Every structure is written in structure tokens, then in C-alpha cells.
Structure 1
Amino acid sequence: MPGGHVVHSLPTGAVQFGHGAPDGYTFQYSNCTGRRKALFIGINYFGQDGELRGCINDTKNLSNFIIENHGFKREDMIFLTDDQRDPNFQPTHGNIIRAMQWLVKDAQPNDALFLHYSGHGGQTEDLDGDEEDGNDEVIYPVDFKQNGHIVDDEIHFTVVKPLPAGVRLTAIFDSCHSGSVMDLPYLYSTKGVLKEPNLAKEAGAGLLSAAGAYARGDIAGVATSLFGLAKSAMGNNDAYEHTKRTKTSPADVIMWSGCKDVQTSADATISSQATGAMSWAFITALKANPKQTYVELLNSIRDLLETNYSQKPQLSCSHPLDTDLLFVM
């Protein structure tokens, strides 16, 4: 491999979280051999302020790419774009949430799900205290003026939280301020980990009982341990809030985002076609070299963009990721 990288083989079965988490706090990689489903959301905001040009093109380019190279079928895809006449396929607030629910419904271990969003993104004041910079990241449905934006917490709750161990969800958000738009706790730089939940601290504070129940899919257990914690904390609201926010997952969720939370993503023209710069770079990097590790692919995407764009794409994950594994989806 370029740069002398040793490619690691994909672990099978349960993998310990490590990072101070108790034994039994595990996740599972997907080998992506199961069912495939994909959701594409592309919004050009026709006739609105800030109209974009490349977002619908992005959905076409990426869907064609994963059909041709990754075994996805068009009949297992939903497209929400604002050039469609059928109101059910307009990228409205309600339709986006419903389509996200469709994507993750009945997912089984080793399934491969794909989510792509190209449109406006932004930030709003964080109301539940889980963002270091005081801002939640949001996406803007076509009807955001009437029905509001969609906040990262809701995206996480809708597409990450329901997934059992061993399900892969690969997501690409080609939007501004999208670095943590799925609230995935492990964020990777081109060299290593930037951010991770402090699981040792959480374990020491007795906060992982709820997380453990969540990892097992035991929602009743989550409720019980949260309730118990709330009572024992005697009004220690911080601990209670922190427990609710443990956003690790036993599933295998990987997100490529167009930029850091503080950055904007370019609506570009490349080879005389309007396109999102991140969507273009993802396809271009994999076409040039289909077999890359996660860290190599992150660097390839960054290299393609850095000559013309200031945005720095981010790789984030729901669990500690071995970035020397081959990227699969």
C-alpha cells in the first residue's frame, strides 16, 4: 500500500470499546455482505435565497457510483430531490425523517446502508448541552422556513440509535458546518484520533449503565438506569444529562463530512458540471484507487480538495475505528 501502510484484516464478532469502557461494552464491524439500502437527499432550493446548483447532480453521481462499484441496486434506493413532482419525494422535513426511518428499519448484522445529503447546513444554539462550542449542527429541508431545520441530535436518534451491532451505515454529508452533524463521538484526523468520549471518566462516575443497556438495545434498561441515576444524583443534572448523551453505538456507523463544524462546503463547478466538492472528491478518490484504508481515503479526499478549497473533510465514527482497515461499504 502507498506509504508502507500495513492493512489490517477486519475483526469478526464483538470488539471491545477500550478507552476505559467496562468489559462487555462492545461494537461489531459489518463486512457489508448483507442487504443494501440507500437514501439520497439533494436540495437545490429552487427560487429560494441561497439557491444551490450541484446538489441534485451529487445524488445522481453518487448513486451511479455505488451501483456500478459497490453492488447497490436502484430499486433499493430512495431519492428526495426538489425537482420531483411527486410530493412524497420532495426533501421536506417530514419526508426526510420518514425516509431515514425507512433506511434503518429491520437492519440486520452485515447489512450495508448508505446515506447521502447534499444541501444547506448550518448551526443553531445547542439546547441540551452536548456540544463543546455551544452549537448544534443542522441541515435545512426544502421547507425549513415553514417547518424548521433538522438538528444533529434528531439525525442521530433517527438513523444511529436504532441500529443493532454489526450494521454498517456509511453517510456522506456534503453541507456546511457538517463535521459532527450525526453526533458521532469519534472524530479522526489525517493522522489519528482527535476526539473521543472519555469512557473511563464516565465509568468512574457510574454513567455507563445506561450506555451498556443502550449498546444491548435494552431500552427499558436505559430508562431504568437513567431513572435510578437521576434519583441518586439528587438533582445532579449534569450527570443525568451526560448519561443521556452517550452517543457511542454497537453498530458500525461511518460518516464522511464535507468540512469541519466551523467551515462551509463549496458548491463548485468541476469539468463544467455543478457539483458538491466533497461528493466529487469522494468519487474521484475511490475511482483512482478502489482499495484504500480509511486513513488513506481521508488523505486522498483532503489532497483532492486542498488545492482549490479551504474546507477540510472529516471522518467520524460511532466506535473506535481501526483506520488501517480497508474501507468497505
Structure 2
Amino acid sequence: MSPESTQRQRDHPLAEPHSAIDRGLPGQKDRGLGSDIRKVKQFFTVSKCTGTKRALCIGINYTGQKNELHGCVNDAKNIAKFIIKQYGFRPENVCLLTDDSPHQRQIPTKKNMEDAMDWLVKGAKCHDSLFFHYSGHGGLTKDLDGDEIDGYDEVIFPVDYHKKGEIVDDELHARMVKPLPRGCRLTAVFDSCHSGTALGPFAPALPHPFPTLISPISPLYLPVLLDLDYIYHSNGRLWRSHQVSPKARKDRATPADVISFCACKDSGTAADSQGGGQAVGAMSYGLLEALRKDPHQTYAELLRNVRQLLKSKYSQRSQLSSSHPVDTGMHFLM
């Protein structure tokens, strides 16, 4: 989702598809990732999610700005209520940042978002379960440190991005992935796409020397928001992301258990949609609807069901990515 442009991103090549893990989907053969997967599995521990549960939900409508949206605040509030009710997150351990809040510390400014990310991961331990949800604008900016294959960093936009700038994927990783210990689960949901033809082509007011290219975030980009290495499609097949450079793959390897859900628009139609009688983001609504029907389905089933919901109502595609090979036959857990 993007504040200033509807320019489409070009596609980038992926590796040939491989099975989810070496004991993954029936009928699929290991086509080259087997030894790689076995090495990775020695490096991380799958979280049991039996420890502390903590969540950060961010929804930004950019009210009064020319790039205004309408469903993002509802997304964040709906997600927060759901995880409290369904997955045992304590209300005092759920931080909600929305730009309709009367409290200054709960407005999703860049400073508040950065502070909240630090709070989310502070003191995290093995088998803790952390949850991050973002609904708002996203886009691309020129990569300055050479760690992106395509030459661009992925970004999300705080409500005050015109003055303070965007938050780059490198910072998201440094704040929310790098500090996590082995066996700590982070589940992230990104509901980001562009907001229509009223937006300009660039964001020259942002305080960096390169224009921020704004467009719907492709599924091929979203894993890189957290620098995750593995991409799963609704048929359960695993792809190795080629957008993670060798340098980034080495520098940003993590023993933590990080899983990300995201969606990308197939067309230029508006991302704000109607669900349950209110404006919502399609990805957030699809994920909630699927989990309400079955909170304990497998990752493969969840991805398939979300994709089917989006396909029937919206022009978006769902995607699952992770920091390590995931057995998509495991039940969804937070």
C-alpha cells in the first residue's frame, strides 16, 4: 500500500520450487534444498508458544492526508481483540497504535512505532510468542547499504512519514528479529498495498537523497521486510527467496522462529474493502475469517483458506514466508 504512487513493481526471479521440508507434502521430492534444510534445522528451535505472549498491532488510516485509507484502524483493532479472545494474549501485553487514538503515545508516529517494536521483543525468551501486525502504506526506497539484490529497501510508512521518514526493512529486522533468542516465535502480518490513482509518483519530502517508490508490495518483496529466506505458496511448495542477498543471508540469519503472512494486490483496485459491515484491509479480514472458522488448522490449510477468501472477494494473493523451513502440516500456533 503506498502513499504516493501506483507504479507497479517488476517481478523478480525465484528459485525452482521445492518441497516444504524433507518430510513435507506427499508426492513432492526434494529438489536440492534437503541438505540446506537439515543444516538450518540444527540452527533453530520451533517455539512451543508456552511462554509470555506479547503483541503489537498498528493501523494507520492517514486521516486528513491525501493518501487517506479507511480500513487500517479497524484491522488493527479487530486483530487485537481476536488474539486476546482466541489465543490467550493478555490485554496488558497487547500494544495498539492507531491514528484515531486520543492518547499521543498510542499514535503510530515513527518514534512511537520504534519504541513499541523495542518493547515487543524486550526480554524475549525461548518459547515466548510475539505477534506483530501492520496495516498501512508500504513501498520501496533506494538501497544504501548494498544488501538488497534488487537495489531497493522495502519500507512501511508511519503517520508522520512526511516529516520523520519511513521505516526501512533493515530497521524492522534489527529491532524485531535480530534481538530474538533461539526458540522464540514471532508471527508477523503485513497488510500493505497502494491506495489508488490520486497519489503522486514520488515522495520527495522524505528526508533521504532518493525518492521512495510507492506501489503495491509484491509477494516477492514482503519476505524481505523481515529478511526471511523461505516463501510458501498455497499449494504448500517452498521457494528459496533470491531477493535475500548472500551478504544479508549471512548477516541476518536468526535462530528465532519467525513466520510472516502477507498479501499483494494483483491489480490497481483499492485495497480498502468491506467486511463485517465496516471498512477493512482484505488480508487482515481474510486471515481473521479463516482463523475464526478453525483457529487450529495447519499452516497449509490456513494459507489455502485465506487465499480462497481473497480470491473470491478481492484482487489480492496471500503468502507465507519464514526464517527457516516450516512443516506446513503443523497446526497454526501463537
Q: Quick one: which of 98, 104, 114 aligns to 2:131?
A: 114
Partner of 2:232: 188
User: How far is the alpha carbon of 1:246 from its aligned partner?
Assistant: 3.6
Distance 2:192 2:106 in 1: 20
CA distance in 1, matches of 2:281, 2:40: 42
Per the alignment, residue 141 of structure 1 pairs with 158
CA distance in 2, matches of 1:323, 1:123: 30
Q: Measure the CA separation in 2 of the matches of 1:25 and 1:67.
A: 33
Match of 1:290 among 295, 298, 309: 295
Q: What CA deviation, in whole Å up to 9, does each residue of 1:188-221 have, x standing for no partner?
A: 112311224799xxxxxxxxxxxxxxxxxxxxxx
**Which residue number corresponds to residue 283 of structure 2?**
278
1:305 paired with 2:310, answer yes
Cα deviations by residue, 1:269-312 (Å, 9 ceiling, x for unpaired)? 12330011111100100111222111111111000001232221
The structure number with the bigger radius of gyration is 1
SS at match of 1:249: coil
| Residue pair 1:248, 1:319 contacting (<8 A) in 2 also | no
128, 134, 138: which one aligns with 2:145: 128
> What is the alpha-carbon distance in structure 1 between the residues aligned to residue 258 and residue 265 of structure 2?
18
- The equivalent residue for 1:29 is 46
Task: Please name the residue that 1:76 is paired with.
Answer: 93
Q: What CA distance in whole angstroms lies between the structure 2 residues aligned with 1:77 and 1:121?
A: 23
Aligned equivalent of 2:274: 269
Other-structure match for 1:254: 259
Gap regions ≥5 residues in structure 2: 1-22, 26-33, 194-216
TM-score by length of 1: 0.77
Question: Which SS does the other structure have where 2:297 is aligned?
Answer: coil
Any gaps of 5 or more consecutive residues in structure 1?
1-5, 9-16, 200-237
Structure 1 residues 243 and 67: alpha-carbon distance in aligned structure 2, compared to 1, 3 A threshold: closer
Ranked by relative contact order (alpha carbons within 8 Å, sequence separation 6 or more), the top structure is 2
Q: Is 2:112 the counterpart of 1:67?
A: no
Cα distance change of structure 1 residues 263 and 194 upon mapping to structure 2, 3 Å threshold: farther
- Is the 8 Å Cα contact of residues 260 and 313 (structure 1) preserved in structure 2? no
Please, what TM-score do these two structures have when normalized by structure 2?
A: 0.76
Aligned residues: 276
Q: CA 1:325 to 1:79, structure 2 compared with 1: closer, same or farther past 3 Å? A: same
Inter-partner Cα distance in structure 2 for 1:116 and 1:282: 12
Give yes or no for contact 1:298–1:315 (8 Å, CA) kept in 2. Answer: yes
User: Given the superposition, is the C-alpha separation of residues 243 and 279 from structure 1 closer, same or farther in structure 2, using an over 3 Å criterion?
Assistant: closer
Report the AA paired with residue 299 of structure 1. Answer: R
Tell me if structure 2 keeps the 8 A contact 1:30–1:110. yes
What fraction of aligned residue pairs are identical, expressed as a percent? 49
Contact 2:59-2:75 within 8 A present in 1 as well: yes
Do the aligned residues in 1 keep the contact of 2:98 with 2:108 (CA within 8 Å)? yes
User: What secondary structure does 1:171 align onto?
Assistant: strand
Residues 301, 263 of structure 1: CA spacing in aligned structure 2 closer, same or farther, 3 A cutoff? farther
